[in-house]
């Protein structure tokens, strides 16, 4: 099922997902020495796969460090590749949107994650330009895993939480 919410300043699309931590751990680009850290992570930065190679958006490393510096707030961020395999890619939409990438978030930290992400964006961007990101999340073992795509202004990123709750409550 796909749910879409389009307003003047943002667009949110929510749909069922088959992504899981186990699926990610079985990807060939995930090194064995990171698997335990990935399992323990509650904010996992997922790469885009292009020609069987993982790529991250240009801003990924800066954002990863921001969350890594917030471990006392309960965040356990992790990347899915080794330092040697870390590659950047500039999204074609980067001219129109500030592209953040894709995150697998454990439900327990989804609200603090959105709050911290908004804080990061408002500090980083200096002006209210549109952003683009994708979040995969699962509320409980009984609920469906969902993918959520957000395009819009950082000021409205909190609406992600409402859309996730609406989707899981159906």
pLDDT score, position 97 = 77
**What is the per-residue pLDDT for 135?**
94
Q: What average pLDDT values come out for the chain (170 residues) when binned by 10 residues? A: 61 90 91 94 91 84 93 94 75 67 91 94 84 87 84 90 82
Taking alpha carbons only, the member of 120, 129, 135 closest to residue 94 is 129
Contact 134, 148 (CB under 8 A): yes
Query: Nearest 5°: phi and psi at 132?
Result: -140, 135
Spatial CA neighbour of 150 closest among 161, 166, 138: 161
Q: Where are the domains of the chain?
A: 2-159
Q: What angle do CA 148, 153, 159 make, to 5 degrees?
A: 45
Res 65: pLDDT: 93
Residue-level pLDDT at 150: 94
pLDDT score of 93: 46
Give me the pLDDT at residue 2, please: 57
H/E segment holding residue 4: strand 2-6
């Amino acid at each position: 099922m796909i749910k879409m919410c389009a307003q003047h300043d943002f667009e949110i699309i929510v749909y069922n997902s088959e992504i899981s931590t186990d699926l990610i751990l079985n990807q060939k680009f995930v090194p064995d020495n990171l698997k335990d850290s990935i399992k323990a992570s509650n904010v996992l930065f997922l790469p885009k796969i292009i020609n069987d190679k993982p790529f991250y958006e240009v801003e990924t490393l800066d954002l990863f460090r921001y969350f890594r510096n917030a471990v006392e707030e309960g965040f356990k961020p992790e990347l899915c590749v080794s330092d040697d395999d870390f590659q950047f890619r500039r999204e074609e939409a980067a001219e129109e949107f500030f592209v953040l990438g894709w995150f697998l978030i454990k439900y327990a930290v989804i609200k603090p994650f959105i709050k911290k992400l908004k804080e990061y964006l408002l500090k980083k961007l200096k002006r209210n330009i549109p952003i683009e990101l994708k979040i995969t999340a699962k509320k409980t073992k009984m609920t469906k895993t969902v993918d959520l795509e957000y395009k819009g202004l950082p000021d409205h990123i909190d609406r992600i939480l409402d859309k996730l709750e609406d989707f899981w409550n159906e």
